Structure 1
Amino acid sequence: MKHPLPRLFRLASLTLALLGASAAALADNVHEIRIAVPDISAGTTPSGAGIVDVLRDRQSLEKEFAADGIQVRWNFFKGAGPAINEALANGQVDFAYLGDLPAIVGKANGLDTRLLSATARDVKEYLAVVPGSGIDSLESLKGKRVGLFRGTATQLSFDAAVASRGLKESDYKVVNLDFNAGNAALAAKQIDATWAGAGLIGLQSKGLAELPLNTQTLGAGGIQSVLLGNGAFVDQHPDIVARLIKAQQPAVTWLRDEAHKQAYVDLVARLSSYPAALLASDAAGQPYTKIFAPQLDADFIGKLQTSTDLALQARLIRKGFDVSKWADSRFLDAALQDKEAASNQASR
């Protein structure tokens, strides 16, 4: 008679394996997708501008995952990039829409993130100065007090702009101020200038600032924006990542259509509480087809590499890295191929 213990051991091992498989299945069951965005709003409702506001307005991601009972939670951070990097480090978010510097800083500091998509290219930044100051160039600004939101893409934009004129951040008396504080300080003439985005046009319209130059007129300092995925989430849930990237593309297509430019301006104005005329002024002369191209192409990767190298040179990071190895384009490539195939099929 065979001893029953080996059979019992086999049954026990099988039971444990099944239990382990069930636990793994439960672990893989996503109930919520957490997305982080810097909040650019000047009012009570949050805004991330760009593709973020279009996605939220159209409920694109919510509709994609509704049938699975998966909630999409948008987390807006007034602390911008540095606060989002902290949330990524603590495993509190799964995706992040970020400007180039905080994305680069996180990667350089060891955060396991994946570069999934471009979300904006060469976003315009402005120099605002006290009216009547006579400051009309980065050279004449040298030695003056400049409000700058350190740790954000705006800081890297400023560094790139001054570097294009053979200068560096240390040539200025930089005061670390967030965007609202920078605006207030300039209006009160507590600083000589500030460097930021389209919100500065509002100060100009009130006679509280002059805008002698911007990154477009300089030909340097434009901000690149990206969609990052938390590395652990990407590895564990590649199907969710693929669906999110695919669901994003119709909104990208809508945004890149010049016929929708005014509708987009009105949308961001409503969410951000910035005047539509201000946003329209900023949008003038900027081709949305180019700005909001999602591809991780050689041009975009090259710009991010240049930004990374500049961040290292300016000692904003301690260690550089190869941006091409950071990029994980398989999800975007698949989504764009599916879109092209669908378009070809529709045209037949």
Structure 2
Amino acid sequence: MRLPLRALTAAVAVSTLALSVTGCSGGSSADGGSTVRFGYIGDYNGASLLAIADQQGLWKEQGLDPEYKTFTNGPLQIQALGSDNLDFGYIGPGAMWLPASGKAKVIAVNTLARADRVIAQPGITSLEGLKGKKVGVPEGTSGAMALDLALQKAGMTEKDIEKVPMDPSTVVSAFVSGQIDGAGLWYPLIDTIKAKRPGLEEVASTADFTDRAFPTAFVAPARSDAALNAKVVRVLQKANDWRAAHPDESIDAAASLLKTDRAKVAADAANVETLSTADLVAKTEDGTVDGWLDDLGEFFVGTGQLEKAPAAGTYYEGDLYSKAYKK
């Protein structure tokens, strides 16, 4: 069984190298707005709302000036929040165990994602084919979640493979060079691998688990300013509705922020289900979102990342989300 804080401990060491701290929480920017340091992962899920908020002037409406920081995964951002090196961040479903363990608060659900896969070298056509082989995975992320789900479905455990903890970029290079036989990873990184390692096999996918939801989310420190959180949520909600109404333009905006090829961002967006803010508010108030998070909590108990699954309401700021929309 995996130690509950092992992934976070690894993230601490990496974050020391990965973070460059500039600005202060709530400080004033040159144009008079309050600076907020916002982390994201360089994909459509992580970047689209931030890009839209910039282009549509939504930050200025709330008197805020964002300072963006790119991260390779969610656990690094949770660590940065906890060490006061970040004010807000973005995480995928595989990192949701960290807010559930009290390390952060979920202030807004972003999308439902099915971008995570277990991939294998050409010629390995099933998860069973990875028995006894090296499988690289970024611990505490949705790639690890995809691997654990796939192993459970196949009646296997982590003891059946040789799991090799790696950061996402190392997984990419190790797979391409043939140093590992498989990986738990996500798009668009898998597209990067495909370009250099054609013929790889996708032996499992979160899309296979149609009875589960995999929410991505925006997070704030466990102890944070409720008034500031509400302002940021209003920005995210307006950007979310613009994204829902302008899907093609949203891809353009994300590609511009990421400085990457539009076709790659469009392929990434194909793995994402977006919901209107009104729908997310309704699903918050009827308990649907809590159900998504509770289900993930139980899964993380099974993997050893949580000792006990807390009620979603202890870390999802659903009331804040609903009130921000109605104000």
User: What interval of TM-score do these two structures reach, taking the shorter chain for normalisation?
Assistant: 0.7 to 0.9
Which residue of structure 2 lines up, in the alignment, with residue 74 of structure 1? 68
SS in 2 for 1:126: strand
Please say which structure displays the higher CA radius of gyration. Answer: 1
1: CA distance, partners of 2:201 / 2:140:
23
2: CA distance, partners of 1:291 / 1:216:
23
Shift of 1:119: 0.9
Coordinate RMSD, CA, aligned: 3.2
Match of 2:262 among 240, 254, 276: 276
Structure 1: runs of 5 or more not aligned: 1-27, 339-348
Which residue of structure 1 lines up, in the alignment, with residue 97 of structure 2? 104
SS in 2 for 1:227: strand
Assess if the C-alpha contact under 8 Å between 1:156 and 1:307 holds in 2: no
- Give the number of the structure whose residues are more often helix, by fraction: 1
Shift of 1:115: 2.3
2: CA distance, partners of 1:119 / 1:288:
8
Assess if the C-alpha contact under 8 Å between 2:75 and 2:141 holds in 1: yes
Shift of 1:218: 4.9
2: CA distance, partners of 1:93 / 1:53:
18
Assess if the C-alpha contact under 8 Å between 2:117 and 2:147 holds in 1: no
Match of 1:64 among 61, 64, 67: 61
Shift of 1:192: 0.9
The equivalences for 1:142-221 within 5 A come to 142-198=131-187, 199-212=189-202, 213-219=204-210
Match of 1:229 among 220, 226, 236: 220
1: CA distance, partners of 2:145 / 2:176:
24
Shift of 1:149: 0.7
2: CA distance, partners of 1:48 / 1:233:
21
The equivalences for 1:1-348 within 5 A come to 31=28, 32-40=34-42, 48-61=46-59, 63-66=60-63, 70-78=64-72, 80-108=73-101, 110-111=102-103, 113-131=104-122, 133=123, 135-198=124-187, 199-212=189-202, 213-219=204-210, 223-234=214-225, 238-257=226-245, 260-284=246-270, 287-289=273-275, 294-295=280-281, 297=284, 298-338=287-327
Shift of 1:320: 3.0
SS in 1 for 2:309: coil
Which residue of structure 2 lines up, in the alignment, with residue 344 of structure 1? none
SS in 1 for 2:317: coil
SS in 2 for 1:136: coil
2: CA distance, partners of 1:211 / 1:164:
18
SS in 1 for 2:264: helix
Length, aligned pairs only: 293
1: CA distance, partners of 2:45 / 2:310:
31
Q: In the superposition, relative to structure 1, how do residues 275 and 203 fare at CA in structure 2: closer, same or farther (>3 Å)?
A: farther
Q: In the superposition, relative to structure 1, how do residues 90 and 280 fare at CA in structure 2: closer, same or farther (>3 Å)?
A: closer
Q: Deviations over 1:195-239 (max 9, x none)?
A: 2222212332444342434321454786421122224323xxx33
SS in 2 for 1:229: strand
Which residue of structure 2 lines up, in the alignment, with residue 22 of structure 1? none
Assess if the C-alpha contact under 8 Å between 2:134 and 2:164 holds in 1: yes
Identity %: 19
Q: In the superposition, relative to structure 1, how do residues 221 and 196 fare at CA in structure 2: closer, same or farther (>3 Å)?
A: farther
- TM-score, normalised to structure 1, is 0.72
Shift of 1:291: 11
SS in 1 for 2:183: strand
Structure 2: runs of 5 or more not aligned: 1-24, 29-33
2: CA distance, partners of 1:147 / 1:327:
31
Shift of 1:280: 2.6
Q: Deviations over 1:269-297 (max 9, x none)?
A: 34335543333334347543479964463
2: CA distance, partners of 1:150 / 1:188:
21
2: CA distance, partners of 1:102 / 1:117:
15
Q: In the superposition, relative to structure 1, how do residues 274 and 82 fare at CA in structure 2: closer, same or farther (>3 Å)?
A: same
